[in-house]
Amino acid sequence: MPPAVAAAVFGVAILAEGAVPAAARADIPGCDRLAGLPQPWLGHDEAPRPRAGPPFARIETAAAITACRASVAERPDHVRAHFQLGRALDKAQRWEEAVEHYRRAAEASYAPAQTSLGLLYEDGRGVPQDPATAMRWYRLAAIQSYPPADTAIGLLYLEGRGTRRDEREAARWFRQSAERGDPLGQLMLGRLFQQGRGVVADEMAAAEWIGRAARQGDAEAQAAYGFILQTGRGVRADPAEAARWFRRAAEQDDIAAQSQLGWIHEQGIGVPADDAEAARWYQRAARAGAADAQRNLAWLYQQGRGVAQDLNQAARWYEAAATQGDARAQVALAWLHEQGMGVPVDEAAAERLYRASAAQGFWQGQNGLAWFLAIRGRNLPEALRQARAAAAQQPKSGDVLDTLGYTLFRNGRLAEAEEILERARHLDAVEPARVREHLGDVYAAQGRRDEARGEWRAALAARPAASQLLRLQEKLRTR
* Amino acid residing at 173: W
Same fold, 20-144 and 390-479: yes
Where is pLDDT greater, at 466 or 280?
A: 280
Write out pLDDT tens, residues 51-107. 999 999 899 999 999 999 999 999 999 999 999 999 999 999 999 999 999 999 999
Q: For residue 330, name the pLDDT band (cuts at 50, 70, 90).
A: very high
pLDDT at position 209 over 70: yes
Q: How many CB atoms within 10 Å of residue 138?
A: 31
How far apart, in whole angstroms, are the C-alpha atoms of residue 130 and residue 298? Answer: 42
The 3-state secondary structure of the chain, one letter per residue? CCHHHHHHHHCCCCCCCCCCCHHHCCCHHHHHHHHCCCCCCCCCCCCCCCCCCCCHHHCCHHHHHHHHHHHHHHCCCCHHHHHHHHHHHHHCCCHHHHHHHHHHHHCCCCHHHHHHHHHHHHHCCCCCCCHHHHHHHHHHHHCCCCHHHHHHHHHHHHHCCCCCCCHHHHHHHHHHHHHCCCHHHHHHHHHHHHHCCCCCCCHHHHHHHHHHHHHCCCHHHHHHHHHHHHHCCCCCCCHHHHHHHHHHHHHCCCHHHHHHHHHHHHHCCCCCCCHHHHHHHHHHHHHCCCHHHHHHHHHHHHHCCCCCCCHHHHHHHHHHHHHCCCHHHHHHHHHHHHHCCCCCCCHHHHHHHHHHHHHCCCHHHHHHHHHHHHHHCCCHHHHHHHHHHHHHHCCCCHHHHHHHHHHHHHCCCHHHHHHHHHHHCCCCCCCHHHHHHHHHHHHHHCCCHHHHHHHHHHHHHCCCCHHHHHHHHHHHHHC
pLDDT at position 349 over 70: yes
* Amino acid residing at 392: A
How far apart, in whole angstroms, are the C-alpha atoms of residue 335 and residue 390? Answer: 17
Q: What percent of the chain has pLDDT over 90?
A: 91
Q: Which of 31-45, 140-154, 464-478 has the highest mean pLDDT?
A: 140-154
How far apart, in whole angstroms, are the C-alpha atoms of residue 432 and residue 177? Answer: 58
Q: How many CB atoms within 10 Å of residue 99?
A: 21
Architecture category of domain 20-144 in CATH? Alpha Horseshoe (1.25)
Question: Do the beta carbons of residue 437 and residue 472 sit within 8 Å?
Answer: yes
Q: What is the phi/psi pair of residue 326, to 5°?
A: -70, 115
CATH number of 390-479: 1.25.40.10
Write out pLDDT tens, residues 258-309. 999 999 999 999 999 999 999 999 999 999 999 999 999 999 999 999 999 9
pLDDT at position 24 over 70: no
pLDDT at position 19 over 70: no
pLDDT-wise least confident of 4-8, 130-134, 206-210, 321-325: 4-8
pLDDT at position 348 over 80: yes
How far apart, in whole angstroms, are the C-alpha atoms of residue 301 and residue 341? Answer: 12
Residues 388-398: what's their mean pLDDT? Answer: 98
Superfamily assignment of 149-253 in CATH? Tetratricopeptide repeat domain (1.25.40.10)
pLDDT at position 458 over 60: yes
Write out pLDDT tens, residues 178-194. 999 999 999 999 999 99
Q: For residue 9, name the pLDDT band (cuts at 50, 70, 90).
A: very low
Q: For residue 2, name the pLDDT band (cuts at 50, 70, 90).
A: very low
Question: Do the beta carbons of residue 26 and residue 67 sit within 8 Å?
Answer: yes
pLDDT at position 389 over 60: yes
Peptide bond into 38 cis (omega under 30): no
Vertex 269 angle, CA 268 and 273, to 5°: 10
pLDDT at position 220 over 90: yes
Question: Do the beta carbons of residue 318 and residue 338 sit within 8 Å?
Answer: no
Q: Would you state the pLDDT for residue 47?
A: 86
Q: Would you state the pLDDT for residue 437?
A: 96
Write out pLDDT tens, residues 403-457. 999 999 999 999 999 999 999 999 999 999 999 999 999 999 999 999 999 999 9
pLDDT at position 15 over 80: no
How far apart, in whole angstroms, are the C-alpha atoms of residue 225 and residue 213? Answer: 9
Q: Would you state the pLDDT for residue 288?
A: 97
Residues 218-245: what's their mean pLDDT? Answer: 97
Question: Do the beta carbons of residue 370 and residue 390 sit within 8 Å?
Answer: yes
Q: Would you state the pLDDT for residue 27?
A: 80
pLDDT at position 21 over 50: no
Where is pLDDT greater, at 379 or 21?
A: 379
Q: Would you state the pLDDT for residue 465?
A: 87
Question: Do the beta carbons of residue 101 and residue 82 sit within 8 Å?
Answer: yes
Q: Would you state the pLDDT for residue 44?
A: 85
CB-based contacts of 414: which residues, under 8 Å, 6+ apart?
408, 442, 445, 446
Q: Where are the domains of the chain?
A: 20-144, 149-253, 390-479
How far apart, in whole angstroms, are the C-alpha atoms of residue 366 and residue 330? Answer: 11
- Stated pTM of the model: 0.86
Q: For residue 244, name the pLDDT band (cuts at 50, 70, 90).
A: very high
Vertex 355 angle, CA 353 and 360, to 5°: 105
* Amino acid residing at 73: A
* Amino acid residing at 382: E
Question: Do the beta carbons of residue 157 and residue 169 sit within 8 Å?
Answer: yes
How far apart, in whole angstroms, are the C-alpha atoms of residue 209 and residue 186? Answer: 5
